[in-house]
Structures are given as C-alpha cells and as structure tokens.
Structure 1
C-alpha cells in the first residue's frame, strides 16, 4: 500500500510510488487503481504502469470506476492485466465485468473451472469460453448498455457531462462550506 496525501497531484502520486519502490525493491506484482473511489481521482496510470514495468513489476490495473467514465485504450496502457465492472459507468447489470490480459500475461491465467472448450478464438479465449452452466444475462446485456450510451449522446458527451456535474457540485459545496475540493484538474473524477 502506498499512502498518498493531499494536495493530490500527478507528480505527488508518481513520487510516492517511486519512493515505495525504492524502499521495497523486491516488489514483483502491483495493483494500481485507475480511478480511486474516495476521494474520486484519476491516477496517472500510463506513467505508473511504465514506472512499474521499468522495475520488472507485473501490473494489474483496477479499472472498476474507469470503463465508461474516462477514455480508455486498455492495450495502450502497457499493463499486464486490466479489470473493470460494467455495472458502474457502462450502465450494465451487476456482475457484468471485464478482464483483459496482455498476450504475454495470458500464459499465466487459467480459469478456476475447466468445463469444456468452446469453438473458435485463441487458445486463451477457448479456455474461458465455457465455464459450466451459469447465468450470462448480465454479460449479454452489456451490448444493449453500450447501445444505450450511443443513443444518449455517446461516450464523449456522457463523460463531459459527468465531469462537469461533479466539478460544479464540488465547487458549490466547497464555496458553501468555505473550504476547497481535494481533487481538481486532470485528476478530477466523479467516481
């Protein structure tokens, strides 16, 4: 665990993680939030992943609050693994989720249950294609959730609206309570 204290800046986050790596050179695996939940802030994941990879650390990015909330190109992040939920900002049912693994990291992942093999796809996809009888409703609904997002303006419009609403609400409360917001600028999120 790396403690990060206010004021929250990208430079402060990067410095705290760098110091933790220097103090703990044997770190081999790291879990990095893409967006924290409290306070809600977007971490500099691209830079964090690059820093960790330079030290030989495998990286899982926890994107529970990111998918549907910030622009996302998972493969461009350089992480080994990326996980996210569909039920938060994608508006999908609970239990819908995403696991992404880099080509290199796929060799280290196995399903908890091997129930059979599907047809078509890569060997990695085939291992996970059929895991026994389960309710796949939440996953099937993700397509409709994505269609709904397009119908109401698309990702860019939704993301801009959420950030503006969060910023306005934070500024309003900070002014009313005669204080300041903890997070602003490029780290602001409304998770």
Structure 2
C-alpha cells in the first residue's frame, strides 16, 4: 500500500533523463509499431510510465476500496489539483476536475439561472465544438423563451481584428433586438478547423461589456502557455488528456471564487450538493473543511478517477524527460506549422492561415487544403467529386487511411473545400509529415477516380 500511494516527486524519474523528441520519444508511448498517430488533438495519449503509475493507484484502491476512496483519494486529489493549479497559475481553490471539457461546459451552462424577463442570450461562434454548441441549443429548447442563442458566423481565413469586430457587432445586435447578451462561449483553439482564436481579447471584451465569459480550452493545458490569473475568465475548462499526457478522460474546470456561488451542482448532481432549503439526505463521505465548491466536485458518483491522480506524474514527465513546457510547446508549434507546409507542398495546396499568421501562432494543430474539387463534372488535371457524394467521399477517405495506411487524419469539408487537420507532437518529426503528405496525395487521387462509389454500391 505504501509503495502504491507514494506520491513524492522523483520516485519515477531521475533528475536528468532527457530524451530527444521524435523517434526516440516515440518509444515512451504505447502505440502499435505499425500505427502512425498524426491526430493527437482528438483524444491525446500518454506515456507508458504514466499508465504504470495509474495502475498502482488502481491496485491500491482494490487492496482496500473503502479506505482508499473515502480517505486517501481526497488527499491525493488535493495534491493533484495543487499541481495543475500551479501550471495554470490559478489559486488551488478555483480548480477542480471533471471528465472532459464537454462536461465542464455543460456544468457551467446548466448551472446558470436564466432571468425570467425572457431576454437572456448566449453568444457562440459557428466553429464551436459540436457537443458544446448542442448544449446551448438544448438549454434554449428546455428553457423556452427564457434564453436564446446567437451564432456568430466565421469564415476562414479571418484576421483576429475582423473576428473581434464580428463579436462586438453580435453584442450590439443582441442589445438592439431587446436581448441581454448574458454569456459568451469561445475556444482557445477551435477543433475543426484547428486554429488559434484570440481568446484573450474576447475575454477582455466580455469584461468590458459585462458578459460572462466561458472559455472552452479543450486544446489548452499542454498546448498553450496559460495564465488564468492574468486572463481572469469567468469560467475556463481544459482537457488534460489531450495535450498534457494524462489518461482519458481528465479535464480541469476553473471557476474564480466570485462565480463559485453560481455553480450549484456538478453534472450529474452528487453528494456534495447542498440545497439552499436544507436536505434530509446526508453526505455519506467523511466531512472536511473545504469550500462548498471544491467539496461538490470531489466525489461525483462511483467511477475510476485514478486518472485525476497522475497529473503530477505527467508534469514530472514533461519536466524531467521532455525538458519542460516551453521546450515541448516550441517543438510542437514549429513542427505543426513547418510539417503542415511540407504536406501542402507535396499536395500542391496551402495551409489555413491569415496574413498575420495568428491562426497558427503557438498552435499544435495545422489545417492543410486537400487537392480535391467539388464539381458535378470532371475537370482536367483535377480530383473531382460530385456535390451529392461529399459526405460519402469524406468518410471513405478517413476509413481508407486507417485500412491502407495505418493512420487517421481528420478530413472535413469546410466552406466548399476539403481539409485535413494534423497535430504536432513530441513523438513525431518532419519525416512523419512527409509520409502523411504522400498518403493524402494517394487517397485524394483515388477519391478523385471515384473508388468510394464502389464501396457505397456494395453497402
């Protein structure tokens, strides 16, 4: 038991255990030797040593379930929260764990008490992550006319100043229609397309306009240098399992103390909830002196949350094996952008960026235009696909990349064109992007010849 619960830093790694990025670092991860992981941004991954540490916690729980879950787990969780709070430069009492960023967004939106004068609006961008945008749609549906949504359409490439202008214009339009822009949700880095958003300026505008800011930082910790005390959003959620090498699913929800009274319940509601009218149902877990907010999120139903406990070990891996956050981010940002350009050169296309290159600045994701045309007729020298086959062709290409190339790259149709999104990560190197370019070129040529139609006919 003692060995399994030993959480002192340094028990896993030596003081000097740096490993070069690229193929040497790849050995630290659990991928099949034939699989090339170019889509880190969707589900992340974690080193073998973190897997082993999590297993120790699982074993400790199985040795003595009640003592571990009721008494040891809360202490370990507090240490873990303190570790990630330091990385985010946030007070530890403002940081709790949730399973994923979608849960974080749902927790915030479902806890807001909408005004009864039927004027509240939630603002969000057309590139919002689907599940989060659907949460806004759901709230509007359930609450009827109490709260409505206002989508801000984005077309790419777009300059940051133009995006901010559209945001300000949406606020003005909301008020001009007699509505109250109550909350705005926006990304740090959007999903598809995978581009950096000016979330710092958007947060500032929300403060100036008296609007609650909800930052979907799914691509946040481990991806961007974050300082939540300086940013000071009203709500911020970020996945630790995407870029921070923590096992799935693990995310952080940051709520400054001024807004914690608004977060009445977890999703789902559990033992930590305290009804304003009092409750005859007691909390069966040991009492503590933590804030109502922290206590609320400490235990949310019985589930394996040992992944929350290994965040300090992931931090240690990143520091001692990788050389620290700055080294990791600099490598991944540069690899994504230069690797994307190399792929675009092979394909004869371009990456998605604006004139000031802010879409790819400090970003581990890159979007590359595919050499495919949407056209009802063939065009000489072009890979053409009929508009009616757009969805079928897209899914076929993704599946064929798995079947024939042992990889996965998100392919999506956006603003009349096909794009792919690639991820920069410390276990990849430039040659992997050159390989990706050749694979994409081959799959686009096959799609242009209509190979996907043969599969569709068989189905």
TM-score (norm 2): 0.40
Q: Give the one of 111, 133, 139 matched to 2:302.
A: 133
Deviation at 1:122, TM superposition (A): 2.8
Q: Deviations over 1:101-125 (max 9, x none)?
A: 0111111002321253652433322
- The CA distance in 2 between the partners of 1:39 and 1:138, in whole Å, is 29
Q: Which residue of 1 aligns with 2:293?
A: 124
- The CA distance in 1 between the partners of 2:208 and 2:327, in whole Å, is 36
Q: Which residue of 2 aligns with 1:17?
A: 167
- The CA distance in 1 between the partners of 2:215 and 2:231, in whole Å, is 9
Matched, 1:186 2:358: yes
| Matched-pair contact (CA < 8 Å) for 2:270–2:299 | no
Q: CA RMSD in A?
A: 1.8
Deviation at 1:186, TM superposition (A): 3.0
Count of equivalent residues: 191
Q: Give the one of 195, 199, 211 matched to 1:41.
A: 195
Q: Which residue of 1 aligns with 2:378?
A: none
- The CA distance in 2 between the partners of 1:168 and 1:100, in whole Å, is 33
Give the direction of change, closer, same or farther, for the CA distance of 1:177–1:133 in structure 2 (3 Å limit). closer
Q: Which residue of 2 aligns with 1:91?
A: 245
Give the match's secondary structure for 2:295: helix
- The CA distance in 2 between the partners of 1:87 and 1:146, in whole Å, is 12
- The CA distance in 1 between the partners of 2:201 and 2:302, in whole Å, is 41
| Matched-pair contact (CA < 8 Å) for 2:221–2:238 | yes
Q: Deviations over 1:30-61 (max 9, x none)?
A: 11101111222211111101112222211110
Deviation at 1:70, TM superposition (A): 0.7
Q: Which residue of 1 aligns with 2:185?
A: 31
Give the direction of change, closer, same or farther, for the CA distance of 1:177–1:80 in structure 2 (3 Å limit). same
Give the match's secondary structure for 1:156: helix
- The CA distance in 2 between the partners of 1:24 and 1:44, in whole Å, is 21
Give the match's secondary structure for 1:28: strand
Give the direction of change, closer, same or farther, for the CA distance of 1:131–1:7 in structure 2 (3 Å limit). closer
Give the direction of change, closer, same or farther, for the CA distance of 1:40–1:118 in structure 2 (3 Å limit). farther
| Matched-pair contact (CA < 8 Å) for 1:4–1:12 | no
| Matched-pair contact (CA < 8 Å) for 1:118–1:129 | no
Give structure 1 regions of 4+ aligned residues with deviation exceeding 4 angstroms. Answer: none
Higher CA-based Rg: 2
- The CA distance in 1 between the partners of 2:219 and 2:169, in whole Å, is 26
Q: Give the one of 76, 81, 87 matched to 2:235.
A: 81
Q: Which residue of 2 aligns with 1:172?
A: 342
More helix by share: 2
| Matched-pair contact (CA < 8 Å) for 2:270–2:296 | no
Q: Give the one of 306, 314, 330 matched to 1:160.
A: 330
Matched, 1:113 2:270: yes
Q: Which moved more, 1:168-177 or 1:12-21?
A: 168-177
What are structure 1's unaligned runs of at least 5 residues? none
Matched, 1:61 2:215: yes
Q: Which moved more, 1:28-37 or 1:18-27?
A: 18-27
